[in-house]
Chains A and B, each alone.
Chain A
Amino acid sequence: MSRPEEIAPPEIFYGDIEAKKYTANTRIQNIQSEMTDRALELLALGDDEAKFLLDIGCGSGLSGEILDEDGHYWVGVDVSPSMLEVAVEREVEGDLFLQDIGQGFGFRPGTFDGAISISVLQWLLNADSAAHSPAQRITRFFTTLHGCLRNPSRAVFQFYPSSDDQVHMLTTCAQRAGFGGGVVVDYPNSTKKRKMYLCLMVGHQEVPSGLTEGGMEVDDGSSSKVKNEKRRKARAMASKKMKGKKALGSVDKDWILKKKELYRQRKGVEQVPRDSKFTGRKRKTRF
């Protein structure tokens, strides 16, 4: 089966019919809200204060609703008028903009306390026209995003890459735009539950440069974690499909990817082990 992003541009793929179908599907609703919970956790906002957040590729508001639940204020941008129309019908709380993220943002410096993006980034990895390469669009996107995020803060993207090369391209562009951070993989050995998150950081002083490891760990002991835990449990109980007693224990892949890239550049690809589904097992998330 082809991936949606290979079928048609997003504003065409998510037309009136698909936008309604997507939003009404309870399986999708559950998955999107679970991934949004996880993204919020990785955002590590720290306290229980309401924040001003950006939802990149907000669609019909399935991800934004989770931000509402936590009392945050948000701005959502999306390139599909049909998805936004559904969001308006559903009376989401965020301010909505029709915007192609590949064209960049005009928000003032330091506008947002953080950004999330759920199931969107893979769309940017495909060329939308002959005039623009994905790398160009991604660079424009990351640069202007970096510019409108507060220092320090984070942007967390759940996404579906189709190759290691794509992940490489994203991390390279992100670094060039000034971000630190890396990739986190949850449940790397489960075909069903495996999820990838690109966690980008603005202005953290302890971000390691190049080969040295160190820096800060994701604060998983935050109150949002506890809240998410509760919410997850509630959802798990509500969902009949979920089988009992599955521990959450996630395994994270981290900056290893970047280190491997550096090694590749220096030594040539052959000498570095290929990224496998085992990369990064049983390690803490480091940035």
Chain B
Amino acid sequence: MVRLITHNMLTCHVKNCTKDNFPLVFENVELEVRPAEANLDFIKRFIPKLEWDALVQTARSIGEDSLPEQMPEDKATLESEEFLQKLHHVLMEIHVEEGQMKCRGCGHIYPISTGIPNMLLAEHEVGR
């Protein structure tokens, strides 16, 4: 399973691919939504690690548009239970089961099958 929390941390790791290597673009995806117990404290602590634009863009690309375009600026909204719940749902409950992730930089395709992305590279794509 690929959750958006993990996808948001993932860049292309092909040799010399440093431009437009994030976020990887989902294509032809099949999703599964699985309810998960929420740890809102964890979510709150994770917010600073998120690339917000990439998250919103990616979520929208797979039909999930509950997140605001801009990350809420005031702390009260950001740390409200309502907002954190929403974030929990997007980050932790949506699983990409099938499809692929494509790098906008080098075009490399990482296929996803039974929820597992194949990150293996060909010999000439491995960095030093």
CB–CB A98/B9 < 8 A? no
Residues on A lying within 8 angstroms of B by beta carbon are 49-50, 52, 71, 73, 75, 77, 79, 81, 84-85, 88, 95-100, 103-108, 110-111, 129, 131-132, 136, 140, 144, 148
Comparing B25-33, B69-77, B79-87, B115-123, the segment that makes contact with chain A is B115-123
CB–CB B115/A96 < 8 A? yes
Q: Which of A49, A75, A81, A100 contacts B45 (CB 8 A)?
A: A49
List the A side residues contacting B118 at CB < 8 Å.
98
CB–CB A49/B42 < 8 A? yes
Nearest CB of B to A21, in Å: 21
CB–CB B13/A88 < 8 A? no
CB–CB B126/A103 < 8 A? yes
B66 within 8 A of A: no
| Bound-state Cα–Cα, A71 to B36, Å | 12
Q: List 15 A-B contacts (CB under 8 A).
A: A49-B41, A50-B41, A52-B49, A73-B42, A88-B116, A96-B115, A98-B117, A103-B119, A104-B13, A105-B13, A106-B21, A106-B119, A108-B11, A111-B9, A140-B127
| Bound-state Cα–Cα, A71 to B121, Å | 32
Among B12, B41, B42, B119, chain A packs the most CB atoms within 10 A around the CB of B119
Nearest CB of A to B53, in Å: 14
CB–CB A144/B46 < 8 A? no
> Given A88-B114, A88-B115, A97-B117, A106 and B123 touching (CB < 8 A)?
no
CB–CB A110/B49 < 8 A? yes
Report B99-128 residues with CB < 8 Å from chain A CB: 114-121, 123, 126-128
> Given A49-B45, A108-B11, A144-B13, A103 and B120 touching (CB < 8 A)?
yes
B89 within 8 A of A: no
Among A73, A100, A106, chain B packs the most CB atoms within 10 A around the CB of A106
Among A81, A103, A111, A129, chain B packs the most CB atoms within 10 A around the CB of A103
> Given A108-B22, A140-B128, A103 and B114 touching (CB < 8 A)?
no
Q: Which residue from chain B places its CB closest to the CB of A89 in the assembled complex? A: B114
B55 within 8 A of A: no
| Bound-state Cα–Cα, A158 to B42, Å | 27
CB–CB B3/A50 < 8 A? no
List the B side residues contacting A136 at CB < 8 Å.
128
> Given A97-B119, A110-B49, A104 and B126 touching (CB < 8 A)?
yes
Nearest CB of B to A127, in Å: 14
List the B side residues contacting A99 at CB < 8 Å.
119-120
CB–CB A73/B5 < 8 A? yes
Q: Which residue from chain A places its CB closest to the CB of B12 in the assembled complex? A: A106
Closest A-B pairs by Cβ, 6 of them: A106-B13, A99-B119, A111-B9, A95-B6, A50-B42, A106-B11
> Given A106-B10, A106-B11, A108-B10, A97 and B116 touching (CB < 8 A)?
yes
List the B side residues contacting A110 at CB < 8 Å.
49
CB–CB A140/B126 < 8 A? yes
